């Protein structure tokens, strides 16, 4: 039978500490990845994932810095339609002025 005493015994202080430590390590990995100087699809996808998980508030500064770094790059070549669209959407979503010509003018090869 489930009662209050049984439920209280399931969560120990050690388990809480383990989960807190694990969460801190994961947050540091996310921050480290976002601070990576390379402009990559992985960084854009990480930002998108963090926002979809509704954790963007925890990484607000890191997201802004990563997007500023990406927006400042003059390299217009895109790796794929996915990365171009993700780049366009995230920059626009965060208030960066980016023209649609960036999306339409990239040298992408559309494959059926």
pTM over 0.75: no
Decide if 58 is inside a domain: yes
Residue 57, CA distances (Å) to 24, 27, 47, 50 in order? 15, 12, 11, 9
Decide if 34 is inside a domain: yes
Q: Look at residue 72 and give its three-state secondary structure.
A: helix
Decide if 31 is inside a domain: yes
Decide if 111 is inside a domain: no
DSSP string, 22-63: HHHHHHHHHHHHHT-SS--HHHHHHHHHHHHTT-GGGGHHHH
Q: Give how many domains the chain has, as a whole number.
A: 1
Decide if 69 is inside a domain: yes
* Owning domain of residue 40: 15-95
- pLDDT tens across 58-108, in order? 999 999 999 998 888 755 546 788 888 898 899 999 998 877 776 656 444
Decide if 4 is inside a domain: no
Decide if 85 is inside a domain: yes
């Amino acid at each position: 039978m489930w009662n209050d005493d049984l439920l209280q015994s399931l969560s120990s202080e050690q388990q809480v500490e383990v989960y807190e430590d694990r969460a801190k390590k994961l947050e540091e990995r996310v921050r480290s990845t976002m601070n990576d100087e390379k402009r990559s699809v992985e960084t854009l996808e990480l930002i998108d994932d963090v926002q979809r998980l509704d954790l963007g508030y925890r990484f607000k500064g890191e997201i802004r810095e990563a997007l500023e770094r990406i927006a400042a790059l003059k390299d217009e070549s895109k790796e794929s339609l996915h990365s171009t669209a993700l780049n366009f959407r995230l920059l626009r979503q965060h208030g960066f002025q980016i023209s649609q010509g960036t999306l339409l003018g990239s040298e992408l090869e559309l494959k059926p």
